[in-house]
Structure 1
Amino acid sequence: MNQREFEAVIRQPAAIRYEYFIKKSADYEEVWGLYNEGWATAQDDLGNTLIPFFPNEKFAETFAKKEWAGFTPKRIDLDHFLENWLPGMKSDGVKPSIFPTDIDSAVINVDTLREDLEAELEKY
């Protein structure tokens, strides 16, 4: 991915970045989180715990700042994400925050994220 594509993607609204995340995660069979002696989390306005996920290392690295300064990108295999992460997040009441930027994020229901990823994977 060149710098031009990178900048174009991060300027898109959250819904478009979510679609990009789904396509790229299925393409490369991975998602990226931020890690530093534990996974990065955030809170929404209602106090719900969110975990940020990104479609690749460069995006994750770019947004490892502010409350996530000192965190580094860490790859998560997509099968492991679908089979372990999402069920665990659902049982813990944690929501995925997909592709957060300085402006916004797509906060998605765990089941919706699973369905969208599985639907995209069926295309391959």
Structure 2
Amino acid sequence: MSSGKFAGAVDLSGPDRLQMFIHKVSDSQEMWGLYVDGWAEATDKDGKKGLVVWPDEPHARLCATDKWRLHSPKMIKLSSFNERWVDKLVRMRLKVAVFPTPFDGPVFVDPVTLRAELL
């Protein structure tokens, strides 16, 4: 990714980052989370937790700071997310916290809705 595209992506609005995420993940067939003895999570304004994901490793690495400073980027295959993760997230009552940046929080999405967008 060129540095201009990288810099521009972190300045996008939440809805625009969500659309970028859907496009990139659909193309690459992978998404990225942060992991250390468990996956990074975020909490929405209502106190509901979500698994945090990014469209690529550089954006995930950019957010491996502060409370996630010990975490490392880890790839999640889209097929695995669709076939195994979505049902588990639903059972655990977790959302998906899509593409936070150092400047803006994630967009929280229902896992079933996100799976449908990524198909």
Equivalent position amino acid for 1:12 in 2:
L
Q: Which residue of 1 aligns with 2:110?
A: 109
Contact 2:41 2:97 in 1 (8 A): no
Matched, 1:82 2:90: no
Q: Which residue of 2 aligns with 1:51?
A: 51
Q: Which residue of 2 aligns with 1:95?
A: 95
Contact 2:33 2:52 in 1 (8 A): yes
Per the normalisation by structure 1, the TM-score is 0.91
Displacement of 1:46 after TM fit? 2.0
CA RMSD of superposed structures (Å) = 0.9
Q: Which residue of 2 aligns with 1:16?
A: 16
Secondary structure in structure 2 of the residue aligned to 1:100: coil
CA distance in 2, matches of 1:17, 1:43: 18
Q: Which residue of 2 aligns with 1:68?
A: 68
Would you identify which runs of 4 or more consecutive aligned residues in structure 1 move more than 4 Å?
none
5+ unaligned residues in a row in structure 1: which ranges?
A: 119-124
Percent of aligned pairs with the same residue? Answer: 32
CA distance in 1, matches of 2:15, 2:110: 14
Per the normalisation by structure 2, the TM-score is 0.95
Q: How many residues align?
A: 118
Q: Which moved more, 1:36-45 or 1:64-73?
A: 36-45
CA distance in 2, matches of 1:78, 1:72: 19
